Amino acid sequence: MSLEEAQAGRVIAHIDLDAFYAAVEVHRAPKLRNQPLGVVQYNPLGDLQSFGPDDPHRHMNSSNGSLIAVSYEARKYGVKRNMRGNEARQLCAQAGMELQLVQVPTSHGKADLTLYRQMSKQVMDVLSRLSICERASIDECYLDISAEAARRLAAASGHPQPPVNADRIHVAGQVQAEGGASAWWARPTEAWGCGERLLAAGAAAVADLRAAVHSELGFTTSAGIAHNKILAKLVSGLHKPAQQTVVPLAAVPALLFPLPVGRLRQLGGKFGDQLTRDLGIATVGELASVPLARLEAAVGEADAQWLSQLARGIDLEEVKERRLPQSISCGKTFRGPTQLRTLAGVNKWLVELGKELEERLAADRAANERTPQLLTLGLNHSGAAAGVSRSCALRKPTAAVIAADALALVKRWVADRPGWAITGMSLASSNFTAAPTGASTITRFLQPRVGTRGAPASPPPPMQPPGAAPGRGALAGRLSAALPYNEQDLDPEALAALPPDIQRELRLAFMASRGGPLRGGPAVTAGSAGGRLGAGRAPAKRARAAAPGAMERFLTRRTG
């Protein structure tokens, strides 16, 4: 089976939300519907106030802020992203229209995108009803609609049915053909290839999902439907808003070959520039015609194979189930006079970023029962084209610990850089794992007793090598990071009330972090730990072995 045939059995869609930030503001305030609208950035040099999503002060038509999103009603008057408010307002005024401007919500001294993230999640939940959904960004995702397309095709006895609103579904390569897309749908059964039938059935499924998003949430979307991710994304923006485009295999050469090489994914940067210079080419068609041997001489065997396939529209990358972000991050830029040049200034903003990250991680854990293991600090600095990043274990998802550990990373970075000036700073949490069952309950139960003092913050622990598998004591290590207590902080009676296996996990945790056994308890080894917390036996069964009362209620299996 050829690679072309291998991908012909798949139906992949790329869904793009239309003018998403502006659409969210209309969803929040319907009075803005059908009016030219722009979403503006806050003034980073002014006296920044915190404005929540429903704060009426966010509606500021006189703002001269930079536009980060523009509605389609404003675009028809020439308003574009990155325009200043004054220029955009003039363009609308010339047409006799008033431009509505809404500032993004702000919190912790920066933009707060929570409102947009919440709306994005609702959209992704709808789109995932019929397919595997891979969230690509806040306003776009990939769907693998193959199974649903096959089901629909079987139900239609092998002949695809035209979808609802077929007049808003375009077919690549049919624009100049007689009858256009309508003629493509109206062909007799024998004129359809197997791959085309699947694409058509998938297009109908995608149209239904997009209709559901619009009817239930009020958002319009555009889509591309093809046999792979690259082609689907390439055409999803060809016809906007609220339309979709299908790419049959026969249309791929005409679609791809005239494009500049830089339009292909991963070829829009320095690698693509160097490739076109070294090979003396400019278009995808020219890249497709380069002999494989010459490609191998230029970039190596592995990259040569990939480039050859890419230029012919072949991409076997799978859509991976991912409706949740792989990382949760926040950041802020510091331009001109706001550049950070002192550790005190750095710490001030690390605390603010840490507060935001703590809030978002708490919400994420409550909703998704997961916790991150890695903290990454990102820095941009004056005089450097590229940023730098430094990572450490995320010991505890609180603002104080996050800020302290990030500051330690900054101190290491600035140690040999006199005259440093930071122009951008971000904090990211990643490497999510399932939150240990019951850990939050135990954390609440074993709060430090009144009158005791916690241990001083320790420096960031070393990062585990990428790909290293956690050992038996991995949970104990995570738990010790989540419980920053001294031995004297623990109530011996409370500890004794816990089930034996949890006691052992706690003792291991303190041994790992303190270098010795817990006061009043036997020395234990990693091998004596009684299994992972929350795994194996049911919590209710373990609770019967503990003292009755509060702990029994704490550790009983939750319902629902």
Q: Is the pLDDT of residue 461 over 50?
A: no
Q: What is the pLDDT of residue 161?
A: 76
The CATH number covering residue 267 comes to 1.10.150.20
Average pLDDT over residues 338-367: 95
Task: Please determine, for residue 464, whether its predicted confidence score (pLDDT) is greater than 70.
Answer: no
How confident is residue 180, by pLDDT bands cut at 50, 70 and 90?
low
Out of 79-88, 207-216, 549-558, pick the least confident: 549-558
Residues 140 and 220 in one domain: yes
pLDDT for residue 54 is more than 70:
yes
- Both 206 and 92 in one domain: the answer is yes
Is 317 catalytic? The answer is: no
What single DSSP character describes residue 531? S
- 38 - beta bridge partners? 70, 101
User: Measuring CA to CA, how many Å separate 182 from each of 162, 170, 187, 237?
Assistant: 9, 9, 9, 20
Residues whose CB is less than 8 angstroms from the CB of residue 257 and which lie 6 or more positions away in sequence, other chains included: 283, 284, 285, 288
Pairing outcome for strands 169-171 and 244-246: parallel
Mean pLDDT, to the nearest integer, of 246-255?
92
Domain boundary residue, one of 385, 419, 435? 435
Mean pLDDT for the stretch of residues 512-539: 38
Q: What is the pLDDT of residue 141?
A: 97
Domain count, the chain: 4
pLDDT for residue 22: 97
CB atoms within 10 A of CB 71: 26
**Lowest-confidence segment of 39-43, 186-190, 217-221, 529-533 by average pLDDT:** 529-533
Which helix (H) or strand (E) segment holds residue 381: the answer is strand 370-381
Range of lowest pLDDT (269-278, 421-430, 490-499, 529-538):
529-538
- Tell me: do 33 and 180 sit in the same domain: yes
| pLDDT, mean of residues 369-376 | 95
| pTM for this entry | 0.69
Does the pLDDT of residue 87 top 90, yes or no?
A: yes
Query: Cβ-count burial of 512 within 10 angstroms (0-12 exposed, 13-18 middle, 19+ buried)?
Result: middle
User: SS3 of 11, please?
Assistant: coil
The residue from 435, 454, 477 where one domain ends is 435
- What CATH number should be reported for the domain holding residue 366? 3.30.1490.100
Asked if residue 210 lies in contact with residue 236, where contact means CB atoms within 8 angstroms, the answer is: no
Give the lowest-confidence range in 89-98, 183-192, 272-281, 296-305.
Answer: 183-192
> In this structure, are 54 and 159 located in the same domain?
yes
* 332 and 448 share one domain: no
Choose the final residue of a domain: 370, 405, 435. Answer: 435
Question: Is residue 317 classed as helix, strand or coil in its secondary structure?
Answer: coil
Please give the residue range of the domain that contains residue 53.
1-256
The predicted pLDDT at position 216 comes to 97
Question: Is residue 422 one of the residues assigned to a domain?
Answer: yes
Model confidence at 493, pLDDT cuts 50, 70, 90, reads: very low
Least confident of 43-47, 184-188, 357-361, 510-514: 510-514
Shared domain check, 556 and 443: yes
CATH number, domain of 178, equals: 3.30.70.270
Q: What is the mean pLDDT of residues 523-528?
A: 36
- Residue 159 pLDDT grade (very low, low, confident, very high; cuts 50, 70, 90): confident
Residue 316 lies in a domain: no
Chain centroid to CA 76? 31
Q: Looking at the domain assignment, is residue 319 inside a domain?
A: no
135 assigned to some structural domain: yes
Q: What is the DSSP letter of 228?
A: S
pLDDT value of position 81: 94
Q: Is the pLDDT of residue 501 over 60?
A: no
β-pair type (221-226, 244-246): parallel
317 domain residue, yes or no: no
pLDDT digits (tens, 9 = 90+) for 24-36: 999 999 999 999 9
Residue 551 lies in a domain: yes
pLDDT, tens digit, 9 for 90 and up, residues 119-130: 999 999 999 999
What pLDDT band is residue 164 in, cutting at 50, 70 and 90? low
Of 216, 239, 37, the closest CA to residue 119 belongs to 216
In a domain, 121, yes or no: yes
Which one is catalytic: 140, 196, 352, 505?
A: 140
Q: What is d(CA 206, CA 192) in angstroms, rounded to the nearest whole number?
A: 20
| pLDDT of amino acid 437 | 64
Tracing tokens 């299996």 back to the chain, one arrives at 557
Are residues 67 and 27 both part of a single domain?
A: yes
In this structure, are 239 and 354 located in the same domain? no
Here the tokens at position 117 are 């993230």
Average confidence score pLDDT of the chain: 81
Q: What pLDDT score was predicted for residue 531?
A: 34
Q: What is the pLDDT, as a whole number, of residue 177?
A: 52
Contact 20, 241 (CB under 8 A): no
Residue 206: its pLDDT value, please? 96
Residues 98 and 222 in one domain: yes
Which of 108, 102, 92, 20 has the alpha carbon at shortest distance from 55? Answer: 102
Q: Is residue 71 part of a domain?
A: yes
- The residue ranges of DSSP E strands in 31-189, in sequence order, are 37-40, 67-70, 100-103, 106-107, 110-111, 132-137, 140-144, 169-171
Identify whether residues 65 and 195 lie together within a single domain: yes
In a shared domain, residues 396 and 413: yes
Tell me if the bond preceding 462 is cis, omega within 30° of 0: no
Residue 393: HSE in the Cβ half-sphere, 13 Å Cα cutoff:
17
pLDDT of residue 95: 95
Q: Are residues 278 and 252 in the same domain?
A: no
